[in-house]
């Protein structure tokens, strides 16, 4: 069967025919990849069926990694012959620069990029020169193909050295010629602009920008390109390709305004571009309203481009650029209200969005919660409002307030309110020319509009307005506004308005004293939340959970809230965001809980989740994970020991689950729950043999690091809780834990296992070291020390520091060294070390006490920074103002241990909750008593920076 027939068969709707053809095609390629690949490109070159040609290119791209060369990871061979490769490369370039169909050119371009990654420059040295020659030719298609492919290749193939030694200058020069040539059509100009932008991003290289010898040339180029764009943007032709070209120009302008030194962009040039952009927006608004907002299809569409998308992208780039000019005043170039009216037009709801919101209120929630993946022209204008020049914020605010009329179309009012919300997001204060109370009353009146979308926008606007002006309005306004909106939402029959109210409720959380509202209001909030649960999906369940947390601020003891939480959680138990919000609800419900309330809650929890755990039979499900997480949080929050009846209900179920499951996530969550059970239950309730069976499973070296994530914490809990019952088993537990640490690879698992090591040392340093000596103690210490800086959590960091301190103070002489700083290749000091190279990295070997001191010095520095303690730097500066020798005196202290010791004073180690205070007292003691010859460590092994840290923090 011929290749042509097979390619047609592979696209057959008949599943059996398609599968058979795929198998036969695979056999044909494997038997003779050279001939097959060449035939594929010949089919793609032929002027036949467009879909078949596209598929031929697609299949060529599929087989290239397998049969082109060993440079591809998926190469399996035999390799396509050199003769056939040359023919294929030439044919691909021919397609890219000669074919009239852009889809075919794009498909061939992808294959060229794919091959060039392994063949350029050795096998394909003429590639860039060939493309450049096409770029400067008079053949329109050749120019388009050359420009497009050069853009694709620029990042992957052109080195910085090549770019800055001629290639970049030549490409930039030709792109500017094409953009500025009035005889060149807009499509070619757009391709040139896109390639120019890629080159511009290369010029951001700091080595180039900071080279003073390059600055005059860069300044000249800046002036040329800005002048050219100012002229080009005066052409506001409403043609698809002209609009695409302007879109590319605005993208360039944004890069120039935001990514390069400000002094390169002359103020007058900025103003000129700003003025042209504002004029363009003002002229474009009418067409935007017709095509995008009203969805009028009369405007001629291009067969290749969607007009709505083109217009939207153009407006987005316009406002992105204007936002990048935030240092420029807006009103200095405005001569009328046209621009403000244009902004309102662009911010209006398109018919399509209006329909989506009305039919699926969840899409409205997704947008208002800021989690939509889409970025519309409306979003761009909103963002622009929050980036306005500080001077303009008040002017735009007052202009928008003046635009709020009761007799205007609802869509205009909604757009004005939407823009005001963007202004309220601005950090600058707003000077209102009208009464704030009058403005608030206007907004509140709009919350009762007959149009649901306008009501929704108004209810969201009110708390944002109150927050912006809270220093000028009394708290009563927020409380009264909230109560007004609660009444409206409770009486409103539309889910859209209720969801909008809950979005608004989140903005009231810092404005209103919720605990003063009373249980009746809380019940109304519960009713509003409950009314949306059955229909909620996507991002609405997390909103409901967040709203529930706020409602609980009124009174956090509520069985009704617990039941609502369960209903919300079960809407989408696999939604990570929702699970996190549910945890917030639980944290609020369980805050300062008493045993009576806990008992009532836990019975509800058990009745819901024990059947879920039992019926799971150990198989993963989102519902099972939710059950384990909720139960774990409840047990951890028990105000006393877990009641015996609760223990009896939970322990056998969790034990059976852990014994039967092999799923990593279930083991991880189940292990965390079992640990909570051990920590918070009476030890006498447990069967120690069952406990050891669970622990043994987690310590099994065949279990993955992910499944054993909490094994260290669990081991410490078991040892602590059952110390009197474990005399026989303790050595085996510690041995298994140590072996597990030696084989662990996941950072989180290693850190958790280090808890056992820290616990052992805190109990008995000498015995712990003697015990570890039976294993690879040097390797264990290297694991500990290398992961110390990655330990997270206040308690965990402190436990690790205390263990290191205990180890140092023990005075034990270690007969081995540990890894210090990584050794640098002096022959190539700038070599970038990859992750695979780091596995084989070599380290300087240093003494254990030296390593401990270095780690603790670095932790002291971090603690001082994180807690924002007042540094002695300010005092030193003050001394330096009066006495220039002040710095030298301070350096003398740092560089002379005896002076350092004398200056820091005496101190015993303080068992303070504050880790910084604890570490300072430790260093003072070891300096005073010269423990482990601290003087030598200080003078011989600490760097200037490390000694400076000690000097800054220890001298009082």
Give the tens place of pLDDT for each residue, 260-286: 988 899 989 999 999 999 999 999 999
- For residue 828, the model assigns a pLDDT of 47
Q: Is 874 found in the same domain as 807?
A: no
| 458 in any annotated domain | no
Pick the range with the lowest mean pLDDT from 660-664, 665-669, 878-882.
878-882
- For residue 634, the model assigns a pLDDT of 97
- For residue 885, the model assigns a pLDDT of 44
Tokens for 416, please give them: 């004005």
Collect all residues with Cβ–Cβ distance below 8 Å to 387 and sequence separation of at least 6: 323, 326, 426
| 551 in any annotated domain | no
> What are the pLDDT digits (tens) for 169-213?
999 999 999 999 999 999 999 999 999 999 998 888 887 888 888
Q: Is 808 found in the same domain as 702?
A: yes
Q: Which long-range contacts (CB under 8 A, 24 or more apart) does 867-872 make?
A: 867/914, 867/916, 869/916, 869/953, 871/952, 872/952, 872/955
CB 548 within 8 A of CB 555: no
CB 349 within 8 A of CB 378: yes
Average pLDDT on 694-718 reads: 94
- For residue 349, the model assigns a pLDDT of 98
CB atoms within 10 A of CB 3: 19
> What are the pLDDT digits (tens) for 771-820?
999 889 999 999 999 999 888 888 899 999 999 999 999 989 998 999 98
Whole-number average pLDDT of the chain: 90
Q: Tell me the pLDDT band of 908, cut-offs 50, 70 and 90.
A: low
- For residue 926, the model assigns a pLDDT of 92
Residue 347 predicted with pLDDT over 60 = yes
Q: Is 704 found in the same domain as 664?
A: no
Q: Is 669 found in the same domain as 717?
A: no
- For residue 855, the model assigns a pLDDT of 96
Helix (H) or strand (E) holding 843: strand 843-847
Residue 380's nearest CA partner among 324, 315, 436 is 315
- Give the total number of structural domains in the chain: 3
Last residue of a domain, one of 638, 662, 686: 686
Distance CA 365, CA 380 (A): 18
Residue 906 predicted with pLDDT over 90 = no
Residue 131's nearest CA partner among 116, 150, 112 is 150
Q: Is 851 found in the same domain as 808?
A: no
Coil/strand/helix, residue 646: helix
| 124 in any annotated domain | no
DSSP 903-931: HH---PPP--SSHHHHHHHHHHHHHHHTG
Helix (H) or strand (E) holding 845: strand 843-847
Place of tokens 């040039």: 269
Residue 406's nearest CA partner among 455, 433, 442, 458 is 442
Residue % of the chain over a pLDDT of 90: 75
Last residue of a domain, one of 791, 815, 839: 815
Residue % of the chain over a pLDDT of 70: 91
Place of tokens 């009328």: 336
| 301 in any annotated domain | no
- For residue 221, the model assigns a pLDDT of 92
pTM for the predicted model, two decimal places: 0.84
Residue 783's nearest CA partner among 810, 747, 813 is 747
Tokens for 758, please give them: 């820290």
Helix (H) or strand (E) holding 821: strand 817-822
**Residue scoring higher pLDDT (544 or 867):** 544
Please report the sign of the dihedral spanned by the C-alpha atoms of residue 779, residue 781, residue 784, residue 786: negative
Most confident of 14-23, 304-313, 560-569, 866-875: 560-569
Q: Is 942 found in the same domain as 877?
A: yes
Average pLDDT on 506-527 reads: 97
Q: Tell me the pLDDT band of 527, cut-offs 50, 70 and 90.
A: very high
> What are the pLDDT digits (tens) for 716-764?
999 999 987 777 788 899 999 999 999 999 999 999 999 999 999 999 9
Last residue of a domain, one of 667, 686, 705: 686
> What are the pLDDT digits (tens) for 853-875?
999 999 999 998 875 544 434 44
Q: How many residues in total does the chain contain?
A: 956
- For residue 864, the model assigns a pLDDT of 86
CB 846 within 8 A of CB 818: yes
> What are the pLDDT digits (tens) for 559-614?
999 999 999 999 999 999 999 999 999 999 999 999 999 999 999 999 999 999 99
| 515 in any annotated domain | no
- For residue 775, the model assigns a pLDDT of 87
Distance CA 703, CA 47 (A): 59
**Residue scoring higher pLDDT (556 or 207):** 556
Residue 790's nearest CA partner among 820, 754, 758 is 754
Residue 549 predicted with pLDDT over 90 = yes
Residue 247 predicted with pLDDT over 60 = yes
Residue 428's nearest CA partner among 470, 382, 387, 390 is 390
- For residue 875, the model assigns a pLDDT of 44
| 618 in any annotated domain | yes
Q: Is 624 found in the same domain as 659?
A: yes
Coil/strand/helix, residue 212: coil
Can you give the residue range of the structural domain that contains 715?
695-815
Residue 876 predicted with pLDDT over 50 = no
Tokens for 795, please give them: 């308690």
Q: Is 681 found in the same domain as 725?
A: no
Q: Is 717 found in the same domain as 674?
A: no
Q: Is 857 found in the same domain as 811?
A: no
- For residue 895, the model assigns a pLDDT of 66
> Running DSSP on this structure, what letter comes out for residue 938?
I
The interaxial angle of helices 540-551 and 559-569, nearest 10 deg, is 170
Residue 890 predicted with pLDDT over 70 = no
| 712 in any annotated domain | yes
- For residue 718, the model assigns a pLDDT of 94
Helices (H), 556-594: 559-569, 576-589
Residue 892 predicted with pLDDT over 80 = no
Distance CA 267, CA 787 (A): 51
| 423 in any annotated domain | no
Residue 674 predicted with pLDDT over 90 = yes
> What are the pLDDT digits (tens) for 603-612?
999 999 999 9
Q: Is 713 found in the same domain as 672?
A: no
- Planar angle of CA 496, 502, 508, nearest 5 degrees: 140
Tokens for 452, please give them: 């649901």
Q: Is 699 found in the same domain as 655?
A: no
Whole-Å CA distances, 250 to 13, 151, 195, 313, 379: 44, 18, 14, 10, 17
Average pLDDT on 412-417 reads: 98
């Amino acid at each position: 069967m011929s290749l042509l027939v097979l390619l047609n068969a592979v696209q057959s709707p008949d599943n059996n025919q398609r599968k058979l053809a795929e198998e036969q095609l695979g056999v044909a390629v494997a038997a003779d990849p050279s001939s097959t690949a060449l035939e594929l490109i010949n089919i793609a070159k032929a002027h036949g069926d467009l879909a078949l040609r596209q598929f031929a290119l697609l299949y060529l791209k599929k087989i290239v990694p397998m049969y082109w060369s060993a440079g591809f990871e998926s190469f399996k061979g035999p390799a396509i012959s050199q003769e056939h490769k040359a023919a294929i490369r030439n044919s691909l370039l021919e397609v890219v620069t000669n074919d009239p169909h852009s889809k075919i050119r794009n498909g061939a371009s992808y294959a060229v990029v794919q091959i060039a990654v392994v063949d350029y420059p050795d096998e394909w040295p003429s590639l860039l020169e060939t493309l450049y020659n096409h770029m400067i030719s008079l053949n329109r298609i050749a120019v388009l193909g050359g420009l497009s492919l050069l853009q694709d290749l620029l990042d992957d193939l052109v080195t910085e050295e090549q770019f800055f030694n001629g290639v970049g200058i030549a490409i930039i020069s030709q792109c500017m010629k094409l953009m500025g040539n009035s005889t060149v059509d807009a499509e070619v100009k757009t391709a040139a602009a896109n390639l120019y932008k890629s080159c511009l991003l290369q010029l951001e290289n700091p080595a180039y920008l900071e080279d003073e010898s390059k600055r005059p040339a860069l300044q000249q180029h800046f002036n040329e390109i800005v002048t050219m764009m100012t002229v080009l943007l005066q052409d506001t032709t409403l043609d698809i390709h002209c609009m695409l070209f302007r879109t590319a120009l605005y993208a360039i302008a944004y890069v120039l305004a935001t990514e390069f030194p400000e002094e390169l962009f002359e103020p007058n040039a900025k103003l000129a571009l700003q003025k042209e952009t504002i004029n363009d927006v003002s002229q474009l608004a009418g067409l935007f309203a017709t095509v995008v907002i009203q969805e009028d299809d009369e405007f001629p569409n291009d067969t290749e481009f969607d007009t709505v998308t083109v217009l939207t992208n153009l407006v987005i780039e316009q406002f992105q650029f204007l936002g990048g000019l935030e240092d420029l005043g807006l009103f200095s170039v405005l001569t009328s209200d046209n621009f403000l009216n244009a902004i309102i037009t662009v911010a209006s709801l398109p018919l399509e969005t209006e329909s989506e919101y009305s039919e699926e209120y969840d899409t409205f929630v997704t947008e208002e919660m800021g989690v939509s993946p889409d970025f519309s022209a409306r979003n761009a204008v909103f963002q622009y409002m929050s980036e306005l020049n500080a001077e303009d914020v008040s002017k735009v605010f007052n202009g928008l307030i003046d635009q709020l009329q009761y007799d205007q179309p609802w869509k205009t009012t909604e757009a004005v309110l939407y823009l005001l919300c963007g202004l309220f997001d601005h950090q600058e204060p707003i000077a209102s020319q009208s009464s704030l109370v009058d403005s608030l009353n206007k907004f509140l009146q709009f919350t009762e509009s007959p149009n649901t979308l306008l009501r929704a926008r108004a209810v969201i606007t009110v708390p944002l307005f109150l927050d912006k002006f809270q220093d000028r309005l009394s708290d009563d306004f927020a409380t009264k506004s909230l109560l007004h909106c609660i009444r409206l939402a409770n009486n409103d029959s539309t889910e859209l308005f209720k969801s909008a109210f809950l979005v608004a409720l989140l903005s009231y959380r810092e404005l209103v004293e919720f605990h003063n509202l009373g249980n009746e209001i809380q019940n109304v909030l519960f009713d509003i939340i409950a009314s949306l649960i059955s229909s909620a999906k996507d991002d609405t369940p997390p909103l409901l959970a967040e709203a529930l947390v706020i409602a609980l601020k009124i009174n956090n003891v509520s069985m009704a809230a617990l039941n609502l939480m369960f209903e919300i959680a079960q809407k989408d138990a696999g939604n990570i965001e929702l699970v996190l919000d549910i945890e917030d609800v639980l944290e609020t419900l369980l805050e300062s809980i008493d045993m009576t309330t806990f008992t009532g809650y836990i019975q509800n929890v058990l009745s819901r989740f024990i059947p879920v755990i039992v019926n799971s039979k150990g198989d993963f499900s989102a519902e099972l994970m939710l059950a384990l997480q909720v139960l774990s949080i409840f047990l951890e929050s028990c105000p006393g020991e877990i009641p015996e009846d609760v223990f009896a209900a939970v322990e056998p179920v969790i034990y059976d689950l852990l014994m039967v499951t092999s799923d990593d996530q279930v083991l991880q969550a189940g292990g965390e729950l079992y640990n909570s059970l051990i920590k918070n239950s009476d030890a006498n309730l447990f069967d120690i043999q069952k406990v050891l069976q669970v622990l043994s499973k987690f310590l099994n070296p065949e279990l993955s690091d992910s499944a054993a994530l909490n094994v260290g914490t669990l081991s410490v809990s078991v040892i602590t809780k059952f110390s009197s019952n474990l005399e026989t088993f303790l050595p085996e537990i510690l041995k298994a834990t140590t072996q597990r640490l030696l084989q662990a690879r996941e950072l989180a698992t290693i850190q958790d296992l280090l808890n056992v090591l820290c616990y052992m040392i805190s109990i008995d340093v000498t015995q712990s070291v003697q015990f570890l000596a039976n294993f690879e103690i040097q390797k264990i210490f290297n694991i500990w020390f290398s992961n110390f800086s990655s330990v997270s959590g206040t308690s965990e960091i402190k436990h690790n520091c205390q263990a290191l301190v205990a180890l140092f103070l023990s005075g034990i002489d270690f007969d081995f060294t540990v890894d210090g700083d990584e050794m640098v290749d002096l022959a190539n000091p700038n070599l970038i070390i990859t992750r695979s190279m780091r596995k084989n990295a070599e380290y300087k070997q240093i003494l254990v006490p030296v390593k401990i001191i270095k780690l603790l010095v670095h932790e002291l520095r971090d603690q001082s920074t994180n807690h924002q303690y007042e540094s002695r730097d300010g005092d030193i500066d003050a001394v330096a103002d009066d006495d220039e020798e002040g710095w030298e005196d301070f350096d003398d202290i740092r560089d002379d241990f005896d002076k350092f010791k004398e200056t820091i004073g005496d101190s015993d180690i303080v068992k303070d909750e504050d880790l910084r205070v604890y570490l300072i007292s430790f260093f003072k003691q070891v300096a005073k008593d010269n423990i482990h010859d601290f003087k030598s460590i200080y003078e011989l092994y600490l760097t200037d920076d490390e000694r400076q840290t000690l000097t800054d923090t220890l001298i009082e």
